[in-house]
A and B are shown apart, each in its own frame.
Chain A
Amino acid sequence: MSNGVATAGTSDRTRSEHRLAWLLCAPAVIAMLAVTAYPIGYAIVLSVQQIDLRFPDEGGFVGLDNYTSVLSSQLWWTDVFNTVFLTVVTVSIELVLGMAIALVMHRAIFGRGVVRTAVLIPYGIITVVAAFSWQFAFAPDSGFVNNLPLISDEMDWFGGRFSSFAVIIMAEVWKTTPFMALLLLAGLVTIDGQLYEAAKVDGASAWQRFTRITLPLMKPAILVALLFRTLDAFRVFDTIYIMTAGAQDTESVSILGFNQLISRLNLGLGSAVSVLIFLCVVAIAFLYVKVLGTRVEEGRPGN
């Protein structure tokens, strides 16, 4: 971070290089402002108004009323709980599975390319398609799951909260574990093989090598992987929308926002929900980056 900061008395050349840098960045900055900052700003503006497409004659500034409505609703808190629950469970399972797959991919001696490609296939499938496939598999009338041994033929997976969550979690984990594995693999390859050899010479067991060498050196990679997946998982929409549409108390905050915005066309209330989701995401990112920032320093060899 310390290099690149201009100090007093810079030459013309440095200054012109700076100008060039800004010029080169300008298209990207403009594009970012147009597609990111503008919609966010617009959502904030909408969220402090009473605005409903079906009632064009009404409207006006209502201050924080929409936010009060959302935050005082039992529904919002149920959905926040559902979302956090789904996020924590899926990301934890994915971390463990992803780590195992990354180790396998790293160690694969022959067919490395084939193994890596095969592992990535679920991630390449569109979420909606994956959700439909899982839903069909678990449907009581047409799915194959109920024909498996130990499972009742009459099990209605999407008829209960717990079983619905179980299927949603399985579909999510199946879909995004490869992504987690890939990020972890990137961290794994940076570890110097000599460290393992040295540890072996000193008589360290495989488990000790994993916990004492692999894990500490992979901390930055793990945190990056967790950050990406947590942000992603918190916005879960497609899988739930396809499978239960939020029935049986499986609604996530994104579905709640969708209902206010698209079903009810209540742009004010819906935007308030969206802004609150945005704030949650910012909070998660902030927490991770704060933790991540210090951990990267800790993890750096030679510190």
Chain B
Amino acid sequence: MELTARAAAIGLVFLGAVALVVVLLASGGEDAGRGRTLTFFVAIQPGGSIEEVSKRCSEESNGRYTVEPEFLPTDASQQREQLVRRLGADDSSIDIIGMDVIWTGEFANAGWVEEWTGKRKQEVTEKVFPGVIETASFEGKLYAAPFNTNTQLLWYRKDLVKQPPRTWGEMIDAAEKLGRDNAGTIQVQANRYEGFTVWANALIESAGTQLLSGPETVELAEGPTTRALEVMGRFANSSAAPPSLSTSTEDTARIAFESGESAFMTNYTFAYASAKEEAPDIAKKMGFARFPRIDAERPSKPPLGGFNLAVSSFSENKDIAFDAAACLAEGKSQLTATELDGLPPSRSDLYSTKLVKTAYPGFAELVKESIEAAGPRPSTAAYQDVSLAVQRSLHPPDKIDPEDATSVYDELRSNLEDAVKREGLL
């Protein structure tokens, strides 16, 4: 019995120690000075623009708040993964979210981000491209202040091609004529990831239809979709496709183009600044044009990217978070992002500034035109399901028969129907 009593005593001491440690740890997390610190979760920008605008807005607030950036990885899926894990657990340590254009529907429907209304809404949407406002909205309500946008251009080698091709068909012909040994390849993003959905969506939109016509309605008109898919299949099965097409990303495309392997590339606006830095010889020969068309007579609908600034519903400082987000997203901040990180502003009036014209020498107008004409990815709470469905149905693209894409079309349609209903495995 004595033995048991001693053991019990030891047990109690042990439990007490555990309890003490738990209490100490918990109290360490609460810091008295946190009231006015706003945490800004955003994708890391290598040029340092986020630190810069956070610092400026904090200073301009006259001590009302300090914005503290918390950086997320460069990969978009990993950014989202970290955010949804926190938001799914009602984490109050996030105040402002750098929200990718494709997360709006999902975050809004889940009740994770606050709606922007009234004067604030008017302020942050002034002179912003209507298409970009769409990407920050869900079912008619605004959920974020538009920050930077992005679009893809066609980059080509002026020394190898006289005129930039207008359609994908012309581009494939031109590349085939050059031949693989003479840079006759086209760089795109066709790894199985979000970038693939971006590409596929742009082709389908350019053919004159779209994936969804409403959050839960599949559109996908058969004629235009099959035309877009046949272009995809023809390209993937031609000599114009680089050998590692099905694993290509923005970065592998850029590297291949900069090394002189390819005469054509569709990629975001950072491609020019990067080439100037990494491969000045190639940059000198670099031409630019709008994203190619599917049909000769129908203007293309280039991809639309970027991110907007949302206020978390779990923030304990929502009111000042709105003010801070508005400052972080204002025109001056957008220009900082253009200057330091080459990100296109979401306000259309900024494209005539000297700063934007220097950042995009000769193609500032083209970027603006491309954003105005862009075909955004569908706005739906089940966006991830839709994107997974597109990737599952169309990847790898060389499986598409360039002569007859009907079977792939049927697969895509049935997977998308499942995706919007959120049924089955994806």
Q: Which residue of B lies closest to A262 (CB)?
A: B81
Q: B421 → chain A, closest Cβ, in Å?
A: 11
Within 8 A of B (CB), among A254-300: 256, 259-260, 262-266, 269, 273
A246 in contact with B243 given A23-B4, A69-B425 (CB within 8 Å): no
Query: CB distance A27 to B8 under 8 Å?
Result: no
Assess the A264–B384 pair: CB atoms within 8 A. Answer: yes
Answer yes or no: A197 CB below 8 A from chain B CBs. Answer: no
Chain B 182-222 per-residue mask, 1 if CB under 8 angstroms from chain A, else 0 = 00000000011100000000000000000000000000000
Closest A residue by C-beta to B245: A159
A194 CB-CB contact with B under 8 Å: no
Chain B nearest Cβ from A73, distance in angstroms: 4
Does B362 touch A at the CB level, under 8 Å? no
Identify A54's interface contact among B14, B110, B247, CB under 8 A. Answer: B110
Is A19 on the interface with B (CB-CB < 8 A)?
yes
Contacts of A137-153 to chain B: CB distance below 8 A? 140-141
Q: Report the minimum CB–CB distance from A274 to chain B (whole Å).
A: 13
Contact of A56 among B111, B244, B425 (CB under 8 A): B111
Residue in B1, B109, B193, B243 whose beta carbon sits within 8 Å of that of A140 in the complex: B243
Q: Do A56 and B11 touch across chains, with their CB atoms under 8 A apart? A: no
Scoring A residues 232 to 247 as 1 if CB is less than 8 Å from chain B, else 0, what string do you get? 0000000000001111
A26 x B381 contact (CB < 8 A): no
Q: Is the CB of A247 within 8 A of B84?
A: no
Contact with A along B97-130 (1 / 0, CB 8 A): 0000000001001110000000000000000000
Question: Which residues between 320 and 378 of chain B lie within 8 Å of chain A, taking CB atoms?
Answer: none
User: Pick the contact of B426 from A19, A248, A264 — CB < 8 Å?
Assistant: A264
Instruction: Return chain A residues, CB-CB under 8 Å to B85.
Output: 262
Q: Find chain B residues with CB under 8 A from A27 CB.
A: 11, 14-15
B84 touches A262 (CB 8 A): yes
B273 at the interface (CB under 8 A from A): no
Assuming the A-B contacts A23-B7, A265-B88, are A159 and B425 also in contact, with contact meaning beta carbons closer than 8 angstroms in the complex?
A: no
Separation of A256 and B422 alpha carbons in the complex (Å): 15
Q: Which of A55, A155, A245 contacts B193 (CB 8 A)?
A: A245
Instruction: Mark B1-43 against chain A: 1 for CB-CB distance below 8 A, else 0.
Output: 1011001100100110000000000000000000000000000
Q: A100 in the interface, Cβ–Cβ < 8 Å?
A: no
Contacts of B7 in A (CB 8 A): 20, 23-24
Please indicate the chain A residues that have their CB under 8 angstroms from the CB of B109 in the complex: 54-55
Contacts of A54 in B (CB 8 A): 106, 109-110, 381-382
User: Are B381 and A141 neighbours in the complex by a CB distance under 8 Å?
Assistant: no
Bound CA–CA A297/B336 (angstroms): 74
Indicate if A75 sits at the interface (CB-CB under 8 A).
Answer: yes
Please name all residues of chain B whose beta carbon is closer than 8 Å to the beta carbon of A155 when the two chains form the complex: 243
Binary contact readout A1-29 vs B (1 if CB under 8 angstroms, 0 otherwise): 00000000000100011011001101100
Q: Mark A213-246, 1 if CB is under 8 A from B, else 0.
A: 0000000000000000000000000000000111
Which residues in B have their C-beta under 8 angstroms from that of A20?
3-4, 7
Residues of A within 8 A of B95 (CB): none
A23 contacts B246, CB within 8 Å?
no
A81 — which chain B residues lie within 8 A by C-beta? Answer: none
Tell me, yes or no, whether B396 is within 8 Å of chain A by CB.
yes
Total A-B pairs, Cβ < 8 A: 103
Cα distance A260–B424 when bound, in Å?
10
Name, among A26, A244, A265, the residue most crowded by chain B CB atoms within 10 Å (CB to CB).
Answer: A265
In the complex, chain A residues whose CB is within 8 Å of the CB of B15:
27
Chain B residue contacts of A75, Cβ below 8 A = 425-426
Contacts of B381 in A (CB 8 A): 54-55
- In whole angstroms, what is the CA distance A264 to B193 when docked? 14
Query: How far apart are the CA atoms of A26 and B256 in the complex, in Å?
Result: 61
Q: Is B230 an interface residue, CB under 8 A from the partner?
A: no
Residues of chain B within 8 A (CB-CB) of A123 are none
Q: Is the CB of A16 within 8 A of B3?
A: yes
**A269 to B14, alpha carbons, bound, how many Å?**
41
Which one of B4, B382, B422, B423 lies within 8 Å of A19 (CB-CB)?
B4
Q: Does B289 contact A (CB under 8 A)?
A: no
A244 to B: closest C-beta gap in Å? 8
> Once the chains are docked, how many angstroms separate the CA of A141 from the CA of B243?
10
Is there a chain A Cβ closer than 8 Å to B255's Cβ? yes
Q: Using Cβ atoms and an 8 Å threshold, which residues of chain B touch A55?
A: 109-110, 381, 422
List of A residues within 8 angstroms of B385 by Cβ: 264
Measured in the bound complex, the distance between the Cα atoms of B385 and A126 in whole Å is 31
Tell me, yes or no, whether A70 is within 8 Å of chain B by CB.
yes
B252 adjacent to chain A (CB < 8 Å): yes
Chain B positions within 8 Å of A140 at CB level? 243-244, 247
* Cα-based distance from A142 to B239 in the complex (angstroms): 22
Task: Check A53–B8 contact: CB distance below 8 A.
Answer: no
* 133-177 of chain B: CB within 8 A of chain A: none
Q: Write the nearest CB–CB distance from A168 to chain B, whole angstroms.
A: 14
The answer to whether the Cβ of B388 comes within 8 Å of any Cβ in the partner chain is: yes
Docked complex Cα distance between A262 and B84 (Å): 8
Assuming A54-B110, A265-B384, is B4 touching A141 (CB within 8 A)? no
Q: What residues of chain B lie closer than 8 Å to A248, measured between beta carbons? A: 192, 246, 396
- B84, B88, B245, B426: the one contacting A259 at CB < 8 Å is B426
Q: Does B395 have its Cβ within 8 Å of any Cβ on chain A?
A: yes
Question: A263 and B388: CB pair below 8 A?
Answer: yes
Distance to closest chain A CB from B185 (angstroms) = 11
Does residue B92 face the partner (Cβ distance < 8 Å to A)? no
Minimum CB distance partner of A246 in chain B: B192
Quick check: A26 and B422 within 8 Å, CB to CB?
A: no
Chain A contacts of B11 at CB under 8 A?
A: 23, 26-27
**Extra pairs beyond A70-B425, A246-B192 (18, CB < 8 Å):** A16-B3, A19-B4, A23-B4, A53-B88, A55-B110, A56-B111, A140-B243, A141-B244, A141-B256, A158-B247, A247-B247, A259-B426, A262-B81, A263-B384, A264-B384, A264-B422, A265-B88, A265-B384
19 A-B residue pairs with CB within 8 Å: A16-B3, A17-B3, A24-B7, A54-B106, A54-B381, A55-B422, A69-B423, A140-B243, A141-B244, A141-B252, A156-B244, A158-B246, A159-B244, A247-B395, A262-B84, A263-B77, A263-B384, A263-B388, A264-B422
